[in-house]
Structure 1
Amino acid sequence: MQADAGALPFADGSFDLACSAYGALPFVADPVQVLREVRRVLRPGGRFVFSVTHPIRWAFPDEPGPEGLSVAASYFDRTPYVEQDEQGRAVYVEHHRTLGDRVRDVVAAGLRLVDLVEPEWPAWNSQEWGGWSPLRGNLIPGTAIFVCVRDQ
Structure 2
Amino acid sequence: MHTAETSPPTLTEAEVRRGNRTWWDLDADDYQDEHGNFLGDVDFVWCPERLRESDARLLGPVHGKKILELGAGAAAASRWLHGEGAHPIALDLSAGMLRHARDAAHRTGVRVPLVQADALSLPFAANAFDIVCTAFGAIPFVADSAAAMREVARVLRPGGSWVFSVTHPMRWVFLDEPDQRGLLALNSYFDRSPYIERDEAGEVTYLEQHRTLGDRVRELVSAGFVLRDLVEPEWPDGHHQEWGQWSPMRGRLFPGTAIFVCDLPA
Tell me what 1:133 maps to.
Answer: 247
Query: Which stretches in structure 1 are left out of the alignment for 5+ residues?
Result: none
* Partner SS for 1:27: coil
TM-score (norm 1): 0.96
| Match 1:6 to one of 116, 120, 139 | 120
- Work out the CA distance in 2 between the residues paired with 1:69 and 1:6: 35
Q: Partners of 1:123 and 1:22 in 2: how far apart?
A: 23
Worse overlay, 125-134 or 48-57: 125-134
1:1-150 to 2 correspondences below 5 Å: 1-150=115-264
Q: Distance in 1 between matches of 2:166 and 2:183?
A: 20
Higher strand share: 1
Q: Distance in 2 between matches of 1:46 and 1:124?
A: 35
Cα RMSD (Å) of the superposition?
1.0
Q: Can you list the C-alpha shifts for 1:25-67, whole angstroms capped at 9, x where unaligned?
A: 1111211111111111111110010011110111000112222
CA distance in 1, matches of 2:124, 2:257: 28
1:68-105 C-alpha deviation (Å, 9 max, x unpaired): 11211111111100011121111111110001100111
Please list the CA deviations of residues 126-145 of structure 1 after superposition, one character each: whole Å capped at 9, or x if unmatched: 22222222111101111100
Q: Counterparts of 1:10 and 1:71 in 2: how far apart (Å)? A: 42
Number of aligned residue pairs: 152
In structure 1, what is the Cα distance between the partners aligned to 2:182 and 2:204? 26
**Matches of 2:118 and 2:210, distance apart in 1:** 20
Q: Return the index of the structure with the highest Cα Rg.
A: 2
Q: What TM-score do the two structures reach when normalised by structure 2?
A: 0.56
User: Higher RCO, 1 or 2 (CA under 8 Å, sep at least 6)?
Assistant: 1
Partner SS, residue 25 of structure 1: coil
Percent of aligned pairs with the same amino acid: 63
User: Which has the larger helix fraction?
Assistant: 2
- Unaligned regions of 5+ residues in structure 2, if any? 1-114
Runs of 4 or more above 6 Å deviation = none
Q: Deviations over 1:8-34 (max 9, x none)?
A: 111111111110111111111211111
Q: Which amino acid aligns with 1:133?
A: S
